[in-house]
Amino acid sequence: MVSLLFSISLGVGIGSQLSMIGKTYLPQFAGWKHGIYFKKYPNPMQKCIALKNYLQRGDIVLSDVFTSWVLPCITDVKVISLFHNSPLILQNFERLHDTMTFFISTNDRQRIMEKYRVSHVMIKKS
């Protein structure tokens, strides 16, 4: 009797867990329209890949550090500041300061653009 009660409880517990997991995660990968179908995986880098049409090798881009982190890998551009310190860039703290100043203070924007010979400014909206 105890083993039957335990088995039923275990089955209900596993079933409820699978049900909650399915309701939460399954809609991201599959849908229901005349049968079950799997959704196409959206590439998280699609927006950056699209920038290849507008940016050329050697362009200098000023952007926030999180956006700047991936740009050189995808578009082959140079960026002013990086999210992590690079041993190859000795003035990274100065570059980080200039990047933050550019987006905060309107008085220093022209000086910063001339200092790094910026060809593009990228503003992350979302």
More confident residue, 82 or 119: 119
Question: What number of other Cβ atoms are within 10 A of residue 23's Cβ?
Answer: 9
> Tens of pLDDT along 7-30?
999 999 999 998 888 788 777 777
Give 124's pLDDT tier (boundaries 50, 70, 90): confident
Mean of pLDDT over the chain: 85
Q: Is 124 left (phi over 0), alpha (psi -120 to 50) or beta?
A: beta
**Which of 28-42, 81-95, 107-121 holds the top average pLDDT?**
107-121
Is 72 within 8 Å of 78 (Cβ atoms)?
A: yes
| E-strand stretches of 20-122 | 30-32, 36-38, 60-62, 78-79, 120-121
> Tens of pLDDT along 104-115?
988 999 999 999
> What tokens does 52 get?
């290849």
